[in-house]
């Protein structure tokens, strides 16, 4: 299971690297040049101290001897020591240029990686089912798309790109150290297995800790997002202290997790530092002893210390890599949860039929996940070009019918079927279906943009004339013209700068810009007065008389002009007929009609 999980993470990461692989390969190549530069400098110093200054003979036929002879010999170099300094400078310039190339390519690669991840996540989230969004907090989704992406980027750009450099440093350092003094090399390697084993031991503990911290951050982000969005509700009910205490409690939990994580990391790094310091101490002490006993030259000792530093740094980097890998593993898991969530799909060879036909619900039953059955044997036909009214109490299933019609929720095959013009909507392309069904949802949502941008969101090609025509039908044009900036008036987050009725009319106007053959108004006239309600219905009848219109409302007057009315009671069709028939049928419709026509005194009595 763990092996498959690791493969899944690797595949997902490889998929995200599309477009940045070349730059990452270039940055890895630059780290290899940096490692080679790190290897050359100690050798130049060793030759300068042992062979040029001290005059010790060089190993016959070695690369160092050939280079010294090419440069004029040891005596010539001793008389011109600036050449040795120049060699060190050339290597330093090589390292600086490699470092510059690494920084440039690595930065470009990491930013490209982040862009690719964000683009793919945003696109995939937009294709996820309505049900998925209902189950996942917005704040947590945002946290996965921001903090977790940064964590992944930091690991790939900061640790994975250094892997080749670490391999070169470790291998070449050990080769050079063995060539200079095998016994001191053995002493240098003694603490290494303990450092590696200690790092591996902490890997799982660090991963679990970061997972807890990440999930706590997601819950905190979700709470902050909800409270900032609903700040007016919080203040309206005077619940500032309650929400503050609730936030502080979660924040305290989040902080304590990081404090605990800090303790784990402190133990990890301090122990690692002690082991690394012990290793360096052993090399320094035994190296001095070997020099005093003439078992090692001074230049070799200086070079050995340099190579030992190059060996210790990668081993210590192993700890950082394991720490960052644990964090990245958690982050990729959380991102993978989104990417692995199945997106909405169409049937094979989806249909794009004419959408002006009759709408039929055929023995439809439906229940939300983990909930009791909501709809029970819903069966009716709505003639094309007519107006259907739906009346019912809260929770009777009115909105659920429309969500199923628009395929925001999919109806299981065994639970009946819904057809338009005789074609099962399960066989219709979702894009085609939704382009031909205009819906004003019960919860009005406007974006933080101008009114013109909000109303034209359905089609980029809409002109201001088209928008104003839709706004007039929704009885909104005069209101907008009364604003100082007219259609350029900026709407606050979720439309907070508009009244409830203005938001509903804006949502209606936005839907009307689509000119769809099917229109659904899900209790979308509840916040407007009776006079405006009547005007909007008259404008709809005049302008869209050929469209199939579905009106969901608690207001009898809104449904009075419908061709047919369905009354729902606890998910079942309790009554069905024309408004005139139901007004005298003695059922629920008549009782509601009588109550709504009463005066306040009569209702109280």
| Torsion angle, alpha carbons of 234, 237, 243, 244, to 10 | 90
pTM of the model: 0.73
Angle, helices 2-16 vs 298-340, to 10°: value is 90
Distance from C-alpha of 427 to C-alpha of 585, rounded to nearest angstrom: 39
Tell me the two tokens of residue 177.
């150290």
CB 410 within 8 A of CB 564: no
* pLDDT grade for 601, boundaries at 50, 70 and 90: low
Q: What SS3 state is found at 425?
A: helix
Task: Tell me the mean pLDDT in the region 551-557.
Answer: 85
In the chain, % of residues over pLDDT 90:
20
Range in 9-18, 251-260, 270-279, 544-553 with the lowest mean pLDDT: 270-279
Distance from C-alpha of 24 to C-alpha of 383, rounded to nearest angstrom: 61
Q: Is 416 left (phi over 0), alpha (psi -120 to 50) or beta?
A: left
Q: Could you report the per-residue pLDDT of 33-89, keeping only the tens digit for each?
A: 888 888 888 878 877 887 777 777 776 666 666 777 777 777 777 777 888 888 889
- Statement: residue 237 has pLDDT above 80: no
pLDDT, mean over the chain: 83
* pLDDT grade for 156, boundaries at 50, 70 and 90: confident
Tell me the two tokens of residue 359.
């709408």
Per residue, the 3-state secondary structure of 3-28, as one string, reads HHHHHHHHHHHHHHCCCCHHHHHHHH
- Statement: residue 602 has pLDDT above 70: no
* pLDDT grade for 415, boundaries at 50, 70 and 90: very high
| pLDDT score at 1 | 43
Domains and CATH numbers, the chain: 15-340 (1.20.1560.10), 347-436+517-532+545-605 (3.40.50.300), 442-515 (3.40.50.300)
Distance from C-alpha of 586 to C-alpha of 588, rounded to nearest angstrom: 7
Task: Tell me the mean pLDDT in the region 12-36.
Answer: 87
* pLDDT grade for 526, boundaries at 50, 70 and 90: low
- Statement: residue 478 has pLDDT above 60: yes
φ and ψ at residue 382, rounded to 5 degrees: -110, 120
Higher pLDDT, 540 or 446: 446
| pLDDT score at 541 | 72
- Statement: residue 473 has pLDDT above 90: no
Range in 260-274, 404-418, 432-446, 533-547 with the lowest mean pLDDT: 533-547
Q: Label the pairing between strands 387-392 and 564-569.
A: parallel
């Amino acid at each position: 299971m763990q092996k498959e999980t690791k493969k899944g993470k690797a595949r997902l990461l490889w998929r995200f690297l599309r477009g940045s692989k070349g730059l990452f390969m270039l940055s890895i190549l630059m780290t290899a040049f940096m490692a080679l530069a790190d290897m050359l400098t100690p050798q130049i110093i060793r030759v300068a101290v042992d062979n040029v200054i001290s005059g010790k003979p060089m190993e016959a036929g070695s690369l160092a001897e050939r280079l010294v002879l090419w440069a004029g010999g040891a005596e010539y170099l001793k008389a011109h020591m600036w050449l040795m300094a120049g060699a060190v400078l050339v290597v330093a310039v090589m390292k600086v240029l490699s470092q510059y190339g690494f920084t440039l390519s690595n930065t470009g690669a990491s930013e490209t990686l982040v862009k690719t991840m964000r683009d793919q996540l945003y696109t995939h989230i937009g294709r996820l089912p309505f049900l998925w969004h209902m189950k996942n907090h917005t704040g947590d989704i945002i946290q996965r798309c921001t903090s977790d992406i940064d964590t992944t980027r930091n690991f790939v750009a900061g640790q994975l790109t250094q892997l080749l450099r670490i391999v070169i440093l470790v291998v070449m350092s050990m080769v050079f150290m063995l060539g200079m003094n095998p016994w001191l090399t053995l002493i240098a390697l003694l603490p290494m297995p303990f450092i590696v084993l200690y790092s591996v031991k902490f890997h799982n503990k660090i991963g679990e800790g970061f997972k807890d911290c990440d999930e706590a951050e997601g819950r905190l982000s979700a709470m902050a997002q909800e409270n900032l969005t609903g700040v007016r509700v919080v203040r309206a009910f005077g619940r500032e202290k309650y929400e503050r205490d609730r936030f502080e409690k979660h924040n305290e939990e989040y902080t304590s997790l990081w404090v605990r994580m800090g303790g784990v990391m402190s133990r990890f790094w301090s122990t690692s530092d002690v082991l690394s310091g012990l290793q360096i101490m052993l090399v320094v002490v035994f190296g001095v002893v070997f020099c005093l006993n003439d078992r090692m030259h001074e230049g070799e000792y200086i070079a050995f210390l340099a190579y030992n530093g190059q060996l210790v740094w990668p081993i210590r980097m192993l700890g950082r890599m394991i720490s960052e890998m644990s964090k990245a593993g958690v982050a990729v898991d959380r991102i993978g949860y989104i990417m692995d969530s199945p997106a909405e799909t169409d049937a094979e060879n989806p249909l794009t039929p004419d959408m002006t036909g009759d709408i039929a619900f055929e023995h439809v039953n439906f229940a939300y996940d983990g909930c009791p059955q909501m709809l029970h044997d819903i069966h009716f036909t709505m003639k094309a070009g007519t107006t259907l009214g739906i009346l019912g109490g809260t929770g009777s299933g009115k909105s659920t019918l429309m969500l199923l019609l628009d395929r925001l929720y999919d109806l299981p095959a065994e639970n009946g079927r819904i057809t338009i013009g005789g074609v099962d909507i399960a066989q219709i392309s979702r894009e085609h279906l939704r382009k031909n069904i205009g819906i004003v949802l019960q919860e009005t949502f406007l974006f933080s943009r101008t009114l013109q941008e909000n109303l034209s969101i359905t089609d980029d090609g809409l002109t201001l004339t088209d928008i104003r025509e839709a706004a007039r039908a929704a009885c909104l044009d005069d209101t907008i013209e009364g604003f100082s900036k007219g259609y350029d008036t900026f709407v606050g987050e979720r439309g907070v700068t508009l009244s409830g009725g203005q938001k509903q009319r804006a949502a209606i106007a936005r839907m009307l810009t689509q000119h769809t053959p099917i229109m659904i108004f899900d209790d979308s006239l509840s916040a407007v007065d009776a006079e405006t309600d009547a005007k909007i219905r008259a404008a709809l009848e005049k302008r869209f008389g050929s469209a199939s219109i579905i009106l969901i409302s608690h207001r009898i007057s809104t449904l009075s002009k419908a061709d047919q009315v369905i009354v729902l009671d606890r998910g079942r069709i309790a009554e069905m007929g024309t408004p005139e028939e139901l007004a005298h049928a003695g059922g629920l419709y008549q009782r509601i009609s009588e109550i709504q026509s009463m005066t306040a005194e009569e209702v109280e009595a």
